[in-house]
Each structure stands twice: as C-alpha cells, then as structure tokens.
Structure 1
Amino acid sequence: MFSFTNVIHIIIIFQGVLLTLYILIANKKKLKSDFLLATIIGTLSLQILGFFLMNRGIGSAFFLSFNCAYGFLYGPLLFFYNRSITRKHFGFKLMHLTHFIPFALVCLIVFTINKGICNPETTIGYTVHILTYILLCFLEVRRYKKVVKDNYSRLEWLNVGWLQGVFVVFSLIFLVDILQAMAFFLNFGTAHLENIVYLLILAAINLLYFNGFTISGESRGFSQEDLALTASLVSRKRFDTSLKENQLLIESLEKHLSTSESFKNLNLTIAVLARELNVPKRTLSELINDHYDQNFVDFINTYRINAAKERLMNPTDPNETILEVLYEVGFNSKSSFNTTFKKKTGITPSEFKSRNK
C-alpha cells in the first residue's frame, strides 16, 4: 500500500520525467537554458526516484549512500541556469567544471569507500554550499535588472520575480532538510518535515517549467558591453547640463523623439538611440540619468505613456481598444503597460479613458 509520501514521490517522478523529455524534444532550436532547465528538473526527478525505490526496499544501500551528493550539484546548476537567462552570450566553458568539484569528490568518496557519508556535517556542508550559490544568483538578478533598465526599453524583461521565487523555494528545501536531519539524529519524528521537502521540490519543478520554459524563446540577457555601460554610470562626475553643447544635445534628443517617434520601437535600446542621434552611447546614458533623473527604460516609457494618453484622449478610431493603443506606443505586455501607466498618472488606462471621453 502506498503512503502519502510515496504518492508525492510518484507525482514528482512522473511529472519531472515528462517535463524533462518535453523540454528536450519540444523545440528544434535548443537554447543553453533549455538544457540546463531539463538537467535541473531531471536531477530532482532522479533523486526522488532513488527515495521511492529505497522505500520499496530496492537498492537501499546505494541510494542512501549517494543521496548527499545531490546537495553539492544543485547550487552550480541553478547558478549556470540563472546566468543562461541573464547573460546574452552565455557559454559553458571548461573552467566552469571547477564548480562541480565538490560533487565529484563526494561521488568519488562514496564509490571508493562504498559507504554513505550522510552525516550532520555533510548536511550542513551542502546546505551552506547551495545557499552560497543562491546568494550569488540573487546578486546576479539584481545586477541584471539594473543593466536592463540602463540599456533596454523592454519593461517585461524585468519580470524575473519567478526566478527569485525558485531560489527562495530551493533555500527552503535545504533549510527544512537541515531541520529534518537534526530531528533524525535527535530521534524525533521526521515524516512531516520530509513531506514538506517533497512538496517544495514539486513546487520548484513547476515554477521552473511553467516560467522558465515559456521565456526560453525570448531574446533577453545583457552583454558585457551593456554591463560596462552600467558600471560606468556608478562612479563618475555628473553631467553638466548647463553647458551650451549639452543643452543642444537635450534639444536634439527631445526633437528627435518627438518627430521620429522611435520610442514606439518595441526593441529600442540605448545603443540604437545613440546611433540615431550620432552621439556616444555613454554620453547619452549620462545625459538621461542626470538631466531627467531617469534610467533609460523609465525615460522611454515616459514618452510612450504620453503618446498613449494623447491617443486615449483623441482616438483616430472611436472603436480603438486599449490593447491596440499599448501595442501602438511600444509596449508588448498589458500588465507592463497598466503598471507603468498607473505609475506615471496615478490611475489605470481604463480610468483615464473613461474620464476623457
């Protein structure tokens, strides 16, 4: 008879294997993030398969001895998966294999002495290991948001809260795992804590797939050039907008955006706008940051929202919808448009439209 724990095992194994196979065969053009996503979900499924077989009395000694090795594998996998999303030209290099040395050493010890090493010290060790990598992932996402705001006008690229949610869930998995290990060595009951871990693993798999795989086809991530631009804005002298040449540049920028309406270009970047104005990218970025006190995405979205307000007050077609307006002015997401519109005006687009009929 299957227990509740066994049922959770079966669900994780079935869903995990199914999703792993689907990721690997669904798209003809595979991205590095797809392979890493499939590896993480597949590894989680494989570990739970070991627990399931162990509970059924199959290969108990092997799966028990090998179990702690997984703890040293998830940190690097999450770290590189995170980078495959936040970095435009991410590539797995030979030197990256050094991140997997702890996992390899644990496996070597297990196979050499043919004995499990799942003791409190090992549990604390792999927990600290993965939490360190998760901290690095959080810092990477923070850097990613900053660089995107300085270089791109795609507001929806900033919607990476799901990725942070994955890191939180993995942190909880290993923190509860420590509590479970402590309870076990103190001869307390661990069944409830064990089931919490499995439910968190199930949540992690679903968060990874239903968010990670849906964005895998989108072009996002920053380049080293983008990162260098953001870094240059941190320590520098403020742009002196009182100088005549800078005043002329401000006038040129505002005139260009008003006449060309290049802000309506969904994929407008600071580099593209700088080429259109024939000015250095760094100069334009410093001007926007210091004169308008805005980063690039906020600056461009100000023009987009002003255009949307004009369109809603004076529609060319009385039947024109808000959805049509947001696409016309350069947005690609209704949620991003609504959020930005309310931030700039204090009311929603629907309320604005109703008040200006």
Structure 2
Amino acid sequence: MEIVKILIILLLAIGSIQGLIYGLILFKSTSQNGLANRILAIILFLFSYRLTIQIMRLFGLGYYDTWYYLMIDISWIYGAILYFYIKAQTQHQFTFKKKDWIHFLPVGIQITCSVFVRLQNLYWDGTRESLSWLGYYGYVIWMNNSTIYIVASSLIILYAYKSHKLLNGLSTNFEIDPAKLNWIKRIITSFLIYFSIVLLVLLLDLIVFKLGGNGSYYYFTRFYYYPFFIGIAVLTYWIGLEGYSRRNDRELAIKTNSTPIDLAKLKDISDTLKEAMLNEKLYKDQELSLHSIAKHLGIKSYLISRSLKEIENKRFNDFVNEYRVNEVKELLKDPNNSRFTLLSIAMDAGFNSKSSFHRAVKKQLGILPSELNIKD
C-alpha cells in the first residue's frame, strides 16, 4: 500500500507543479490572447491547488481546515470558467459584461449551502434530534454523499455543451486558424468526456450502494476517489502544456462581406491613414482621436474604423500606439535624448500617461518599458 500511496503522490504532484508553473507563465502573458491565457491560468491554479490539498491529505495534513473547505466550495465554478475561456478564445476582443456574472451564481449557492451545513456542527451532539430536519438531511446529503461533485460535473458538462454551441456558430462570423480551432475543440471534448465518465461513476456507485442497503455512505472512502484526482492531474498537465504552446496564437480575424470594390476603397483609406501617420506624425498628438483624425483627413470616422478592422485587423488605439512605441524606440537611439527620462520621451511620442505607455509597450513588444534600452 505504501508503494501505491507514493505513486499517487507522485502523479498528483506532477500535475500540481505543472499547473502552477504554466499557470504563472500564462497569467503573465502579454500576447494578443492575454485575457484567454489568464482565464486558462485560473483553471490551472484551481486544479493545481486542489491536487495539492489531496497530497496534503495523504500526509495527514490539511484535514477540514479553511483552505480545504474553500476549494470544495468553489468547485461549481469550473464550468463557467471553462466557458469564458472558450469565449475569450473565440470572440474578437472579448470583455466581461455585467450579465456574464450570472454564470457564477451556482458557486454562490454552493457556498451558502456549505456554510449552512457546516454551521450544524454547532448544534450536533451525536444524535439526529439535535438538528433540524433541514440541518440533518442537508448534512447527510451534502457532506457524506458525492452531491457537490455530481453537481460540479453536471455544470462542467453543461458549459462544455454551451461551448460547443458557441464554437458551431463561429464560422459565420470569424476566420480562425485550423490548428487553433482544433485545440479549442480538443479542450472542450476532453472536459466533456472526462466529467461525463466521472458523473456516470458517481451516480451508479451512489445508486448501487443505496439500493444494497450497505449502511452509511462516505464519498471520501470510495474506490474511485483518488483515481478521480489522478485524472484531474493528467488533465492539468495536458492543458498546461498545450496552453503554454499556444499562448501566442493570433487573435481571430473578423470575416467581412465586403465586395472587392469596397475592400479596394478601404485599402486606399488605410494607405492614406498610414501615410499621414508617417509623414505628419499625427500620433504625437496626445489628444488624437478617431473623430479628430477623420476630420483632419476629411474621411468619415466610421470608414476609418472599418478600414482598420477589415484591412489592418486592429483597433484604433492599438494602431496609433504602435506608431508611438516605434517613435519611442527611435528617440532612445539618439544620444542627445539620454538626459531625458523614459516617461518624458514617451510623452513626446504621443502618450498621455505612464499607464497607457506601460500597457502599449507590453502589448506591442511583450516587454516592460524599462527593458526598451536593453532590447534596442
């Protein structure tokens, strides 16, 4: 049995360490898919810590402490996080909206129920009569059975299905690299298959055990308890490795229904805009906006916006900041500018704040502003 225990610890530790390392790398990612990478990092962090708790249990540590309960209490959040990872990967410039928070309602319900059940320990004296009927059955159903994990698996399956539907509608709106599309399909399918198996085992075991009248049921002592976590370790290892290798995938390109003539006109607008940027250095205006540049060029602002989107596949701010960052790099090459601070040079290039300069450099070059002198 000691060999089995050591093997389990080793397998869980590999998954946990892998999840932590790649989670940190993805969370710090400054690529175009930064939000998606951070969401995947959160999944890896949660899985990694859950595995760590199980390793501690095998060493006789961490039984029923605050962190142990916390990780159980947020188990209903995995499905929603997976769903938002897929949305961030498949929706152009995805951002969280107020209505999106409803997807985290289940975890709120779970925490409320778990706190109520644990409060029953204040009244429990070893007899059924010491608890209310709701407290007693809540304790039995919630804590001893696999109820939490049945619901958690069901939610992951539900959100994996929603992600599939989201993916099916993708081709009508976006162009996406086939390799990236296959990766997204694989991660959805892996969660769907694995947690469908988990749900089936949980339900069958519970039903058979109850029908057999074998006495008290404790989920934590069932035959599949640690195999379930070994599966989580394998899943964590795989998505961490794959997520890391795809962290710099390009953003989705929006499909257009523009005619060749429309595209030619938009290309002319794009060329005019880039020529003005280079020759007139419009980007050095700290108050530059889509409206002001449209007025200056005598082109309607919606046409400039459409040109940037369909020809350059960029937002206006990113387009302008690219010129500003390049201007900073050029200014730093001039020895006469060595007496100026980096921020003053950035302001001269058109940035209007330290934070906007910092964000632009990280997004455009993937480095910190302080590294500009080193890199160039």
- The 3 A distance-change label for structure 1 pair 166 and 190 is farther
The answer as to whether partners of 2:15 and 2:51 remain within 8 angstroms in 1 is yes
The question of 1:86 aligning with 2:73 is answered: no
Deviation per CA, 1:152-180: give whole Å up to 9, x if none. Answer: 4x6x3464222222222222332333314
Deviation per CA, 1:257-305: give whole Å up to 9, x if none. Answer: xxxxxxxxxxxx65484523669xxxxxxxxxxxxxxxxxxxxxxxxxx
Deviation, structure 1 residue 8: 1.5
The answer as to whether partners of 2:11 and 2:230 remain within 8 angstroms in 1 is yes
**Quick one: distance in 1 between partners of 2:32 and 2:239?**
19
Deviation, structure 1 residue 69: 3.1
Deviation, structure 1 residue 120: 4.1
**Quick one: distance in 2 between partners of 1:141 and 1:28?**
22
Give the structure 1 partner of residue 205 of structure 2: 183
**Quick one: distance in 2 between partners of 1:172 and 1:13?**
21
One-letter identity of the residue aligned with 1:108: T
**Quick one: distance in 2 between partners of 1:142 and 1:89?**
19
Between 1:115-124 and 1:35-44, the stretch displaced more is: 115-124
**Quick one: distance in 1 between partners of 2:6 and 2:204?**
23
The question of 1:205 aligning with 2:257 is answered: no
Give the structure 1 partner of residue 109 of structure 2: 105
The question of 1:133 aligning with 2:159 is answered: yes
Give the structure 2 partner of residue 276 of structure 1: 263
TM-score in terms of structure 1 length: 0.55
- The 3 A distance-change label for structure 1 pair 44 and 61 is same
SS of the residue 1:82 aligns to: helix
Deviation per CA, 1:86-114: give whole Å up to 9, x if none. Answer: 00120012332221111122123323442
One-letter identity of the residue aligned with 1:37: L
SS of the residue 1:95 aligns to: helix
One-letter identity of the residue aligned with 2:173: V
Equivalent residue in structure 2 for 1:9, among 12, 32, 40: 12
The question of 1:172 aligning with 2:193 is answered: yes
One-letter identity of the residue aligned with 2:193: L
TM-score in terms of structure 2 length: 0.52
Deviation, structure 1 residue 40: 0.7
Aligned residues: 229
**Quick one: distance in 2 between partners of 1:271 and 1:201?**
46
Q: Percent identity?
A: 14
SS of the residue 2:75 aligns to: helix
Deviation, structure 1 residue 200: 3.1
Between 1:17-26 and 1:31-40, the stretch displaced more is: 17-26
Segments of structure 2 that go 5 or more residues without pairing to the other structure are 120-138, 267-376
- The 3 A distance-change label for structure 1 pair 11 and 61 is same
One-letter identity of the residue aligned with 2:240: Y
One-letter identity of the residue aligned with 2:85: Y
SS of the residue 1:61 aligns to: coil
Deviation per CA, 1:126-162: give whole Å up to 9, x if none. Answer: 22222111100011111113433xxx4x6x3464222
Deviation per CA, 1:206-255: give whole Å up to 9, x if none. Answer: 443333343343333365xx5xxxxxxxxxxxxxxxxxxxxxxxxxxxxx
**Quick one: distance in 2 between partners of 1:169 and 1:35?**
20
SS of the residue 2:169 aligns to: helix
One-letter identity of the residue aligned with 2:243: G
**Quick one: distance in 1 between partners of 2:14 and 2:203?**
24
Give the structure 1 partner of residue 337 of structure 2: none
Give the structure 2 partner of residue 49 of structure 1: 52
Between 1:205-214 and 1:162-171, the stretch displaced more is: 205-214
**Quick one: distance in 2 between partners of 1:87 and 1:57?**
45
One-letter identity of the residue aligned with 1:76: A
- The 3 A distance-change label for structure 1 pair 122 and 13 is closer
The question of 1:219 aligning with 2:250 is answered: yes
The answer as to whether partners of 1:16 and 1:205 remain within 8 angstroms in 2 is yes
Say what the alpha-carbon RMSD is for the aligned residues. 3.3
One-letter identity of the residue aligned with 1:15: Q
Give the structure 2 partner of residue 124 of structure 1: 150
Deviation per CA, 1:68-95: give whole Å up to 9, x if none. Answer: 4343111110100000010012001233
Deviation, structure 1 residue 61: 2.0
Between 1:20-29 and 1:53-62, the stretch displaced more is: 20-29
Structure of greater Rg: 2
The answer as to whether partners of 2:51 and 2:233 remain within 8 angstroms in 1 is no
